[in-house]
Each structure stands twice: as structure tokens, then as C-alpha cells.
Chain A
């Protein structure tokens, strides 16, 4: 299975987790066994993570997400790209997101 995160790929939250917005906090609740390395804990994301997560909608490629974030936050493109790849990689490793398609 291809585990490498690529900018030309599209990712979407897995159906094996439930993402909840509680009092403005994103809380990721595992639904099935084997999510992340913990089965009885919940996860949340920091501000950067949240901004990326909100765009992982199963339609946008990671490269498009990078462009959007560059426009919105006027940040350094290389840094933002590294954040997007870094987070998506972690999410994929923990089976919290899955890849939907490649080009």
C-alpha cells in the first residue's frame, strides 16, 4: 500500500473516526480498533493542524490546500507545504485520513 503522502493526492477523514466540534475544539474520536496508537484516548489538533484538517474534504489535492493556506495566511510556501505534508503524514499513519485518488 502506498503510504507516501503526495501533494498531487486527495485525502479525506477516515470513516473509522468521528470528528466532533465541541465548544470550538476539534475532537477526533476513534470509532474502530487500531486508530493511532491509543484506543482509549481522544485527539485534538493545534491551530495549524485545524486549518489544514478543515480543508481535507476529499476534493482538494494537498497542493491546492497549500495554495489556499498561502493565500489566507500569507506565509512562506515551503513552510506551509512542510506543515501540510507533515500533518497529513501523521494522520495517514494513524489511519485518521485515507487517500481518495491520485493523478
Chain B
């Protein structure tokens, strides 16, 4: 019989005859408010922050954005926050998005999942895995991070409701000094979730407040985040195949990137709308000069005119030009305009924390000797070349299309 039908992977560019969709995927931060108060959170505001709530996009403004996104070919939206389920109109927005033919990723702490919501996700499936953040397999470690009494039981209850209805979800985690020792236990617990096909993805680099709004909170994050040595040790030991994948990645994507600041895909075929209608190239980059006000414009204009202009920005900071622009660790290093903005309030300041992590990883891989600096190495191409044949174990691993943890 003729195969009239084809099951498609919508991310296959061949489907679009080689063209990139103007907007393939969109992140929507429905609110910055959250019912947890996680020590490391880069964005959360108190759940009852009336001022923040008043400034948030209205239901109708969000529907307009979803409508335009669909008209631009968008296939997937991510509802995130803050805690997106705090919005009273969450169900309405979710159903609206699904009726536009959008797949919906929901990024949640699962504490607000009710029987009714689980039923809704069963009847009208998001078509994407729900992403649940967990910080520990037991109450003590979890609530040490969330600082919200009862949050552990609430999260477990929410996940149990999803399990009962067979609504697929996965776990994502964050590793901090406070819960480092719990990673193994959490990994073991998550293996009981049917949709996990490996250990949870742990974020290890905690970012400072992306609105640069609290020195107290930033100081706390700095104290809680893993040291560069702990980060590398954790990466190399916890993730199967990580080291081989990193070696392969290095040989393909590392090298000095000059004065051009944007070498990632931020703002190309996607972006993030904050809770107040500012369209950002990525989830973290909130430098006022790089965001586009959707209340006075359109996704299309931002994607076609505004973002390309921002992406042409070149570094002018002498420190960046001397170091990052000439450093062959760029690619492996997570230095980018967003991280620079978060740490220092500019787009082109070398982020010392990330620089140290990149150098520690490079030393681990044998790319650098103790005391060497990535931007001073002349024979970096030979060093990368020699790396390609040194993968321990000889196991072939898949390399991702980028290392950006903000995506």
C-alpha cells in the first residue's frame, strides 16, 4: 500500500526544503514569581509580589504572542518562569497554545500540579516531556535548596499525579555545594521514572541574578556554587561518556573567535519572551540594549531586524580582546554576552568563574599545562588535533550541537 503518511521529526531541516523556520521554538516566561525560594535561583520573585504580577503580560497579550508565533511557523513553546503554574490563566494559555498546533514544554517544580491538571495533560498531551526540577531525593536535601517547607511533599505529590495518569515527564537537577553528595541518590531515584533514558541533566554552573537585582542573593549564589575544581570533578565522574563527548566537541568547535561576541545561535529562529513582554535573544540576556519590547512591536520584526543587528555586536573591552577573543578554549568555555552581563553588567567582560572552569577542564584533558593560559598558546591547533586520538576507552559518543546550558 502507498505510504501516504509520514511520521515526521519537525526539527529535520530537510522537511523545510533546507530553509530555516523564521521561528522554530519560543520560550515564554509566564511569571518571575515562584512558590519556592531556591538559594541558587537567578530570577525568582516571591509568589505574592503584587507589583510583578501587575506588570506581567495579560492573558490576551500572551495569546497574541502565541498567535504570531504560530503564524511564523513555531512548532514548540516552552512555558517557564518563575513557576509557570502560578498563573491563574495557565490552563487557558496551555489549551490555547495546543489548539494552535504548538507542542508545549512545561518547565515546573511540580508542586502546583493538581489532579485536574494531570487529567488535562492526559487528555490534551503537551506532546513534549514535562520538565520537573528536583534538588534531592529526600526532604532534607531538597528543602535545603528550595527553602520552602512542604515543597518536597508537594513536588512528589505532583509527580505521582503525572505518573498515575501516564503523563510523560523527566527530571532536571542543579548541583550545588549543598546537594552535591545527594546526586547519586537522586540519580538512582530518577531511574524509576519511566521516561528517563539516563541520569538527570544536572546544571552545575549556577548563574547570578539575571536582573542584577540583589547583591545579597548574588553573594549567596557565589558561596553555594561549585568551585571550578568541583565542577570538573563532578562532570568527569557523573556523566557517562561526558569526557569522550567533550574531546570530540573540542576538536570540532573550539578555537579563538575574535571580537565577534555572538558565536552561539541565540536569537536565530528562537528567543525568550520575559514575563513583561521583552523579547530576548536567550533566556539570560537581559541587558536593556539587547531586548525588544513586544508591547510596541512584533516577534517578526525582532527576529528579522533587531536580533541580527544585536548579533553583530563586537567586543571593545580591552580585557576581552586580549583574552577571550584570542583564547582557543572558546567553545568549551561558557563565556558569552549573557554570562558577562549577569556577572558584570556588560556584554564583553571575561567571566573569571567560567574562565577558571574552562582552564580546569582543559588541564584535565591535557590541552594545557599548569599555569598556561588559553590565549597565550600558539600551537593550539596541534594540541586539538592530538586530542582527537586520545579518547579513553575508545567509545564513540554523540556530541551535542552546542554547550549552551541556557538553551
Task: Tell whether, in the assembled complex, residue B5 and residue A49 are in contact, meaning their CB atoms are under 8 Å apart.
Answer: yes
B73 to chain A, nearest CB (A): 4
Task: Tell whether, in the assembled complex, residue B16 and residue A45 are in contact, meaning their CB atoms are under 8 Å apart.
Answer: no
Q: Which of A34-42, A56-64, A66-74 contacts B (4 or more CB under 8 A)?
A: A34-42
Task: Tell whether, in the assembled complex, residue B124 and residue A43 are in contact, meaning their CB atoms are under 8 Å apart.
Answer: no
B12 to chain A, nearest CB (A): 10
Task: Tell whether, in the assembled complex, residue B17 and residue A43 are in contact, meaning their CB atoms are under 8 Å apart.
Answer: no
A29-B8 contact in complex given A18-B99, A18-B101, C-beta closer than 8 Å: no
Task: Tell whether, in the assembled complex, residue B7 and residue A32 are in contact, meaning their CB atoms are under 8 Å apart.
Answer: no
Task: Tell whether, in the assembled complex, residue A48 and residue B4 are in contact, meaning their CB atoms are under 8 Å apart.
Answer: yes
**In the complex, per-residue mask of B108-132: 1 if CB is within 8 Å of any chain A CB, else 0:** 0000000000000011110110000
Q: Using a CB–CB distance below 8 Å, which chain A residues touch chain B?
A: 18-20, 22-25, 27, 29-33, 38-46, 48-49, 52, 83, 86-87, 90, 94
B10 within 8 A of A: yes
Q: Report the interface size class on chain B.
A: 20 to 34
Q: Using a CB–CB distance below 8 Å, which chain B residues touch chain A?
A: 1-10, 15-17, 19, 21, 70, 73, 75, 98-103, 122-125, 127-128, 168
18 A/B residue pairs, CB under 8 Å, sorted by A: A20-B70, A22-B75, A23-B16, A24-B17, A27-B101, A29-B101, A30-B127, A31-B101, A31-B124, A39-B127, A40-B168, A41-B9, A43-B7, A45-B5, A46-B2, A83-B4, A87-B4, A90-B5
Cα(A18)–Cα(B124), bound, Å: 12
Which of B5, B100, B103 has most A Cβ within 10 Å?
B5
A44 to chain B, nearest CB (A): 5
Which of B4, B5, B17 has most A Cβ within 10 Å?
B4
A50 to chain B, nearest CB (A): 9
Give the contacting residue for A23; candidates B3, B8, B17, B101; CB below 8 A.
B17
A33-B122 contact in complex given A40-B127, A43-B7, A46-B4, C-beta closer than 8 Å: yes
A33-B123 contact in complex given A18-B101, A20-B70, A40-B128, C-beta closer than 8 Å: yes
Give the contacting residue for B4; candidates A23, A24, A25, A86; CB below 8 A.
A86
**CB nearest neighbor in A for B168:** A40
| A32: chain B residues within 8 A (beta carbon) | 123-125
Task: Tell whether, in the assembled complex, residue B21 and residue A23 are in contact, meaning their CB atoms are under 8 Å apart.
Answer: yes
Task: Tell whether, in the assembled complex, residue B4 and residue A45 are in contact, meaning their CB atoms are under 8 Å apart.
Answer: yes
A29-B103 contact in complex given A42-B10, A43-B8, C-beta closer than 8 Å: yes
Task: Tell whether, in the assembled complex, residue A18 and residue B4 are in contact, meaning their CB atoms are under 8 Å apart.
Answer: no
Task: Tell whether, in the assembled complex, residue A31 and residue B7 are in contact, meaning their CB atoms are under 8 Å apart.
Answer: no
| A44: chain B residues within 8 A (beta carbon) | 5-6, 8, 15
Task: Tell whether, in the assembled complex, residue A41 and residue B6 are in contact, meaning their CB atoms are under 8 Å apart.
Answer: no
Cα(A6)–Cα(B6), bound, Å: 23
**CB nearest neighbor in A for B19:** A23
| B5: chain A residues within 8 A (beta carbon) | 43-46, 49, 90, 94
Cα(A45)–Cα(B15), bound, Å: 11
| A49: chain B residues within 8 A (beta carbon) | 4-5
| A41: chain B residues within 8 A (beta carbon) | 7-9
| B125: chain A residues within 8 A (beta carbon) | 30, 32-33, 39-40
Q: Given A27-B8, A49-B4, A90-B5, 20 other A-B contacts at CB below 8 A? A: A18-B98, A22-B73, A23-B73, A27-B10, A30-B125, A30-B127, A31-B98, A31-B101, A33-B124, A38-B7, A40-B103, A40-B127, A40-B168, A41-B9, A42-B8, A44-B6, A46-B3, A83-B4, A87-B4, A94-B5
B168 to chain A, nearest CB (A): 8
Task: Tell whether, in the assembled complex, residue A86 and residue B98 are in contact, meaning their CB atoms are under 8 Å apart.
Answer: no
| A30: chain B residues within 8 A (beta carbon) | 125, 127
Cα(A46)–Cα(B3), bound, Å: 8
| A43: chain B residues within 8 A (beta carbon) | 5-8
Cα(A20)–Cα(B15), bound, Å: 14
**CB nearest neighbor in A for B166:** A33
Cα(A25)–Cα(B14), bound, Å: 11
